[in-house]
């Protein structure tokens, strides 16, 4: 009889033991998010769980939702999704001037990467600047990259096509110093000066330093026009022999259609198969945004004298600008975003001033007189790029930029590409905005909902997410992210932004060069 009842006794004993184990958790957690649909950032299917936060970490994930816990604050999920905070791999802004970064927080971004397009704070020792940011505390976490253009300027190489050995050595030293201070890599802006003067040897020598420190090169490539984009990608892939490389805001200017998008992706996939660690990011808009110098020829920009060019080569410049703007979908496709003509396109300004648009550019704006949005991309091509497993989401936006991407990018991905177009599943979209971005940048303990990871979290109803920013009104906050935590502290509560700031200056673990 005893033998027959032994399995039953054993089962009862195990159940009692499990109950005692559950009861043994006497921790008083800071926050208990109850019965929530977790999308963890890995791309895996969602699951129901309790999430417990203690200090700045995800302390416990309990999938047995019959369990109870002690916490200072209990939050009922009410059918909402919990995801990692979004990571913007390509952001802009000055945390010393606009530390609140409401544009990012409101669209669910809890970490941004600054120092983009080859430009970072013009400091020989970035630690001074980083300590200032530490002291004022930003609303979002900040991961810094050092800019190649800035390194050129600080080293004195500036506009030299081929740096001297001494100049190249100074550039290496500045890059080394940046890594010692915790940057995650180097950015290049080869379409801008002085980076446009750099050549193969210089870029690959610096790539070696980046690789020695386990860093990443993010590149605004030399030319994003459809006829040149593949050549630009190959140039970046050459640097990828020495370190991981990343195509910033991947696009094909003037390119058209899904097939063209697949052709571009084939280049990246082929390099990946050959061992190059290559990735890219993208923002979900078909208009770019940058300085108006983008439409001017190189021979009108620094270090050349613009006034001298106008005096001696004006007719040549007029012809160049006429052709360039026509190629870029006409004057109505250039929307001025700063300066005295803000909010008007080139066609409107031309009619208002009663002069050809090329003369407006030469006489009233100049190569450094404004920034603008340029409607130059094809929706089908960009959607093809966006779906790739190699491509994560970014905004390329800032608090001040007159482009809706700075306020709407991450919300638009959910509102348009998940809910409306069904282009991405919610799990895949969140992976592109969290886990994939963290993996690409080398961020540790962020981007995934996992025990021990930092509590950068979002609680929201996907159906209520809305990107309200438009080109007419670009500074409107996204809606729908009800609760946002940064390092375990609530930055948004019931859709209201906190006046306090909880972000940190992140520093990459220092890796000694392998020499």
Q: What is the CATH number of the domain that holds 143?
A: 3.20.20.140
CB 271 within 8 A of CB 304: no
**Per residue in 213-225, pLDDT tens?**
999 999 999 999 9
Mean pLDDT (whole number) for 63-84:
96
Q: Specify whether 217 is located in the same domain as 104.
A: yes
pLDDT computed for residue 13 by the predictor? 55
Separation of alpha carbons 483 and 496, rounded Å: 8
The answer to whether residue 9 scores a pLDDT higher than 70 is no
Mean pLDDT value across the chain = 94
Q: Is residue 507 part of a domain?
A: no
Separation of alpha carbons 429 and 282, rounded Å: 12
pLDDT computed for residue 25 by the predictor? 83
Q: Specify whether 111 is located in the same domain as 249.
A: yes
What are the DSSP E strand ranges found in 408-509? 457-460, 483-486, 489-493, 496-497, 505-506
Confidence of residue 50 (pLDDT cuts 50, 70, 90): very high
Q: Specify whether 367 is located in the same domain as 383.
A: no
Q: Specify whether 309 is located in the same domain as 163.
A: no
Mean pLDDT (whole number) for 192-221:
97
The answer to whether residue 500 scores a pLDDT higher than 80 is yes
Mean pLDDT (whole number) for 187-214:
97
Cis preceding linkage at 303, omega within 30: yes
Confidence of residue 5 (pLDDT cuts 50, 70, 90): low
Tell which phi-psi region holds residue 109, choosing left (phi > 0), alpha (psi between -120 and 50) or beta: beta
Q: Among residues 425, 445, 465, which one ends one of the domains?
A: 445
pLDDT computed for residue 210 by the predictor? 98
The answer to whether residue 513 scores a pLDDT higher than 60 is no
Q: Which residue has the tokens 């070696």?
A: 208
Q: Is residue 105 part of a domain?
A: yes
The answer to whether residue 20 scores a pLDDT higher than 50 is no
Q: Is residue 67 part of a domain?
A: no
The answer to whether residue 510 scores a pLDDT higher than 60 is no
pLDDT computed for residue 11 by the predictor? 56
**Per residue in 321-333, pLDDT tens?**
999 999 999 999 9
Q: Is residue 133 part of a domain?
A: yes
Q: Among residues 445, 464, 494, which one ends one of the domains?
A: 445
The domain total for the chain is 2
Cis preceding linkage at 194, omega within 30: yes
Confidence of residue 509 (pLDDT cuts 50, 70, 90): confident
**Per residue in 435-480, pLDDT tens?**
999 999 999 999 999 999 999 999 999 999 999 999 999 999 999 9
Q: Specify whether 261 is located in the same domain as 170.
A: yes
Q: Which residues are CB-neighbours of 141 under 8 A, at least 6 positions away? A: 110, 111, 112, 446, 456, 486, 487, 503, 504, 505, 506
Mean pLDDT (whole number) for 374-390:
97
pLDDT computed for residue 12 by the predictor? 56
**What percent of the chain stands above pLDDT 90?**
94
Q: Specify whether 368 is located in the same domain as 384.
A: no
Task: DSSP letter for 118, please.
Answer: T
Q: Is residue 354 part of a domain?
A: yes
**Domain limits for position 334:** 290-375
Q: Classify residue 506 by burial, with Cβ atoms within 10 Å: 0-12, 13-18, 19+.
A: buried
CB 487 within 8 A of CB 503: yes
């Amino acid at each position: 009889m005893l033998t027959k009842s032994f399995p039953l006794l054993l089962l009862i004993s195990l159940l009692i033991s499990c109950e005692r184990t559950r009861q043994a958790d006497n921790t008083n957690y800071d926050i208990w998010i109850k019965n929530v649909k977790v999308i963890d950032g890995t791309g895996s299917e969602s699951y129901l769980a309790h999430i417990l936060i203690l200090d700045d970490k995800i302390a416990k994930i309990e999938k047995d939702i019959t369990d109870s816990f002690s916490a200072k604050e209990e939050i009922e999920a009410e059918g909402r999704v919990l995801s990692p905070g979004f990571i913007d791999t390509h952001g802009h802004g000055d945390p010393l001037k606009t530390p609140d970064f409401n544009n990012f927080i409101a669209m669910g971004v809890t970490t941004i990467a600054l120092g983009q397009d080859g430009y970072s704070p013009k400091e020989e020792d970035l630690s001074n600047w980083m300590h200032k940011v530490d002291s004022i505390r930003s609303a979002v976490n900040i991961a810094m990259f050092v800019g190649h253009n800035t390194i050129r300027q600080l080293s004195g190489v500036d506009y030299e096509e081929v740096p001297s050995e001494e100049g190249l050595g100074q550039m290496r030293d500045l890059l080394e110093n940046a890594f010692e201070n915790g940057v995650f890599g180097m950015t290049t802006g080869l379409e801008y000066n002085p980076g446009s003067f750099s050549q193969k040897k210089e870029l690959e020598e610096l790539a070696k330093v980046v690789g020695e420190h386990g860093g990443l090169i993010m590149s605004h490539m030399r030319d994003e026009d459809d006829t040149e984009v593949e050549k630009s990608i190959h140039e970046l892939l050459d640097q990828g022999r020495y370190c991981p490389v990343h195509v910033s805001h991947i696009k094909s200017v003037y390119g058209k259609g899904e097939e063209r998008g697949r052709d571009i992706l084939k280049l990246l996939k082929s390099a990946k198969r050959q061992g190059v660690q290559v990735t890219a990011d993208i923002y979900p808009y078909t208009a770019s945004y940058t300085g108006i110098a983008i439409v001017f020829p190189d021979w009108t920009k620094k270090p050349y004298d613009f006034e001298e060019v106008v005096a001696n080569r004006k007719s040549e410049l007029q012809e160049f600008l006429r052709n360039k703007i026509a190629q870029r979908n006409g004057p109505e496709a250039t929307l001025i975003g700063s300066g005295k003509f803000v909010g008007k396109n080139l066609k409107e300004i031309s009619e208002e001033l009663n002069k050809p648009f090329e003369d407006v550019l030469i006489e009233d704006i100049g190569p450094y007189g404004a920034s603008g949005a340029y409607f130059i991309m094809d929706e089908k091509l960009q959607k093809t790029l966006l779906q790739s497993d190699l491509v994560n989401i970014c905004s390329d936006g800032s608090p001040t930029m007159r482009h809706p991407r700075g306020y709407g990018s991450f919300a638009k991905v959910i509102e348009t590409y998940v809910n409306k177009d069904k282009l991405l599943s919610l799990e895949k979209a969140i992976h592109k905005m969290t886990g994939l971005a963290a993996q690409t940048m080398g961020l540790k303990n962020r981007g995934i909902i996992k025990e021990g990871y930092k509590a950068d979290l979002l609680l929201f109803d996907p159906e209520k997410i809305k990107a309200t920013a438009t080109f007419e009104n670009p500074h409107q906050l996204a809606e729908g992210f009800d609760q946002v935590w940064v390092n375990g502290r609530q930055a948004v509560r019931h859709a209201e932004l906190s006046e306090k700031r909880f972000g940190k200056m992140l520093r990459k673990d220092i890796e000694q060069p392998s020499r």
